[in-house]
Amino acid sequence: HGTRPLARLDALGVVGPRLVAVHSVHLEAGEIDLLAAKGASVAHCPSSNLKLASGIAPVAQMLARGLNVGLGTDGAASSNDLDMFAAMRLAALLHKVAARDPRAVPAKAVVEMATIGGAKALGLDGLTGSLEVGKLADCVILDRDILTCPDEEIRETTAIATFVGGKLTAGSLDGLLKQ
């Protein structure tokens, strides 16, 4: 059709709030602006992009232009695991190198991508993705001692307790709450 893929999708009326553009490693500035203006989202899967050598998504530019970015793992076949903590770490580090700026894609932005950004991409931000009154309370309580020890890796075993929909589904709060 003689156009870039996103231009073709836009001409077909596909680009809008329900579009989740996965990977998006080859977007140009105007395409980022188009996605942001139309309320679309990007699913960023840094581990998969690195393993498959498909490119580095311009996440810093996406966020700067107001484009919603959710964070994902893509799947075990293309990223070796489904570890969201690893995806968060990669996203935080990768974009600092890509931008040659240690302030690019700060930790707060990465946490937002992994939580409310993903929920918004799926149209679920009114239900989940942040801890607010009236939303499902999905959260994980992590072992603070592991988080402050740089030699330890954050893994699922670091979780003390996991809540899904406000209900404790794994772990225990024993010893955490003052009586």
Name the percent of the chain lying above pLDDT 70.
Answer: 89
- Residue 176 confidence (pLDDT) above 90: no
CA distance 38 to 11: 13
Q: Using DSSP bridges, classify how beta strands 68-71 and 139-142 pair: parallel, antiparallel or unpaired.
A: unpaired
Q: Which residue has the higher pLDDT, 145 or 57?
A: 57
Contact status, residue 120 vs residue 70, Cβ threshold 8 Å: yes
Question: What's the rounded mean pLDDT across residues 81-97?
Answer: 89
pLDDT, tens digit, 9 for 90 and up, residues 40-59: 999 999 999 989 999 999 99
- Residue 148 confidence (pLDDT) above 60: no
CA distance 47 to 90: 7
